[in-house]
Amino acid sequence: MLPGDIVKSVPHLRRCAKPGDLPAHLKSYFMNGSSQSKLIHTGKSQWVYIMMGLEGRLSRDDITEIIKNLSAIEGMEEVEPFIYSVPVPVNPPSSQIQASLWSTMFWPTVYRKANPLGPHPSLVSKGTDAITEDADIFMAMARQVAEKSAAAGYGEAMGACVVIRAPTGKTHVVALAADARWHNREKTGTKGNPMGHAVLRAVSMVAQKLVRAEHRETSDKPDRILEYDTFQDKPILDDEETIWREDHPTPDGYLCHGLELYLTHEPCVMCSMAILHSRMSKVVFAHKMPLTGGISAEDRLIEDSELAKYGGGRGLGLFWRRELNWSLLAWEWEPTDSYQPLTVDPQIHA
């Protein structure tokens, strides 16, 4: 019933809001002292508030006419709506924190990544402070399994470490996974088993812990008996096994929501999308993969003469793209001078 330009205005404000989601001062005002109104705003209700649009774009007559038309909708015949003006911010919030604040002050507000170039600097700063103190530890754990797996011939020298960080700052390692693209198969060609990438193994290990908690199964109960298992997501190293047998500290969340991922190498496009779909919150990688990586967003200028012949990467920046339904914070880790990089073929997908 509304014109298209009105509908598309102020997209950062919720078009519909349940009474219980309104700011406290609006709920108090709308209650009007009646018992019915109090019930509507404090319990489960079928009422809904609709944000029609900015007053400067709609006249009172326009709104009245629209409300009259509502009576033609089945179930709306006896409804008696009322109109009220609420002050709202015209411009979108610049961060999730600001959106939450406005939701308590004006009207339910959402943060829609208004900045196409990346997260708000305040989010980056806060995230950096949270991970700085112990990033070296988790990166060292990822490196350790990477070296062991490469030495055993299971995969390339790449590793992943998944961490959960409590509000108090205390951390817990949820999964530890090395690359296993050559595990249980002849090493022919250059790609190996893509399902054996460290990222996919780590995400699957987290998922299996959640399933284990849900069904109260033991960690060593076999759930697949195959001559060759494409999904190399069971522990193959002692270090992986130690973490694998520990229960997930918070098994009620959605897969990797709120978790941090530490990687020895920038993940490929496939693994980068797996990180997004699993709802990881932070990613830290030690070595950029300028030809195959999917996380970094900057232009890939290849100065090394040996690499220049392959051309540059696409700089997809998959950690923060407006057209995707999830975004996360990502850092390229700055190692100490004593840190020796794990050498891999620059054309390989991590």
Provide the residue range defining the domain that includes 72. 4-105
**Look-up of token digits 């198969």:** 185
**Residue 255 burial by Cβ neighbours in a 10 Å radius (0-12, 13-18, 19+):** middle
> Residue by residue, what is the 3-state secondary structure of the chain?
CCCHHHHCCCCCECCEECHHHCCHHHHHHHHCCCHHHHHHHHCCCCCCEECCCCCCCCCHHHHHHHHHHHCCCCCCCCCCCCCCCCCCCCCCCCCHHHHHHHHHHCCCECCCCCCCCCCCHHHHHHHHHHHHCCHHHHHHHHHHHHHHHHHHCCCCCCEEEEEEECCCCCEEEEEEEECCCCCCCCCCCCCCCHHHCHHHHHHHHHHHHHHHHHHCCCCCCCCCCCCCCCCCCCCCCHHHHHHHCCCCCCCCCCCCCCEEEEEEECCEHHHHHHHHHCCCCEEEEEECCCCCECCCCCCCCCCCHHHHCCCCCCCCCCCCCCCCCCCCEEEECCCCCCCCCCCCCCCCCC
In a shared domain, residues 67 and 132: no
> Chain centroid to CA 109: how far?
19
Query: pLDDT, tens digit, for every residue of 90-141?
Result: 888 877 788 889 999 999 998 776 565 677 777 888 899 999 999 999 999 9
Please give the pLDDT value at position 201. 96
Q: Are residues 60 and 127 in the same domain?
A: no
Res 73 pLDDT > 90: no
Could you report the per-residue pLDDT of 36-71, keeping only the tens digit for each? 666 666 666 677 888 888 888 877 787 777 777 777
Looking at residue 79, its pLDDT comes to: 65
More confident residue, 7 or 324: 324
Q: Which of 105, 138, 170 is the last residue of a domain?
A: 105
Q: Which tens digits make up the pLDDT trace of 246-270?
A: 999 888 778 999 999 999 999 999 9
pLDDT band at residue 331 using 50, 70 and 90 as cut-offs: very high
Question: Is residue 110 in some structural domain?
Answer: no
| pLDDT (tens digit per residue) in 220-242 | 555 555 555 788 889 999 999 99
For residues 197 and 49, membership in a common domain is answered with: no
In the chain, the N- to C-terminal Cα span, in Å, equals 51
Report d(CA 179, CA 289) in Å as an integer.
15
Q: Average pLDDT of 317-343?
A: 84
Alpha carbon 328 to chain centroid, angstroms: 5
Instruction: Examine the domain organization and report whether 188 and 93 are in the same domain.
Output: no
User: Are 104 and 23 contacting, i.e. CB atoms less than 8 angstroms apart?
Assistant: yes
89 lies in the same domain as 160: no
Whether residues 170 and 312 share a domain: the answer is yes
Does some domain include residue 22?
yes
What is the average per-residue pLDDT within 173-200? 89
Of the three residues 49, 80, 105, the one that is the final residue of a domain is: 105
Per the structure, how many domains does the chain have?
2
- Are residue 127 and residue 94 in the same domain, yes or no? no
Q: Exposure string (b/e) for 3-24, b if CB count within 10 Å is 16 or more? A: eeeeeebbebbbeebbbeebbe
Looking at per-residue confidence, does 240 or 24 come out higher?
A: 240
337 assigned to some structural domain: no
Let me know if residue 302 belongs to a domain.
yes
For residues 174 and 30, what is the distance between their CA atoms, to the nearest angstrom? Answer: 46
Are 37 and 141 members of one domain?
no
Q: What is the pTM of this model?
A: 0.68
In angstroms, the CA 61 to CA 273 distance is: 49
Surface-to-core class of residue 267, CB atoms within 10 Å of its CB (0-12 exposed, 13-18 middle, 19+ buried):
buried
Q: What percent of the chain has pLDDT over 70?
A: 84
Do 130 and 165 contact (CB within 8 A), yes or no? yes
Is pLDDT at 305 greater than 60 in this prediction? no
| Size of the chain, expressed as the number of residues it contains | 350
Partnered with residue 260 across adjacent β-strands are: 163, 282
* Predicted pLDDT of residue 228: 59
Distance CA 259, CA 294 (A): 19
> How far, in Å, CA of 180 to CA of 198, rounded?
7
User: 206 and 94 share a domain?
Assistant: no
Task: Tell which of 40, 74, 105 closes a domain.
Answer: 105
CATH number at residue 263: 3.40.140.10
Is there a single domain that holds both residue 238 and residue 194? yes
Average pLDDT of the chain? 83
Separation between Cα atoms, residue 17 and residue 191, nearest integer Å: 50
Residue 15 has a pLDDT of: 87
| Assigned domain for 217 exists | yes
Q: Are 170 and 233 contacting, i.e. CB atoms less than 8 angstroms apart?
A: no
- Do 47 and 74 lie in one domain? The reply is yes
Lowest mean pLDDT segment, chosen from 75-84, 166-175, 250-259: 75-84
Tell whether 290 is covered by a domain.
yes
Beta bridge partners of 16: 50
**Residue among 318, 328, 342, 307 at smallest CA distance from 179:** 342
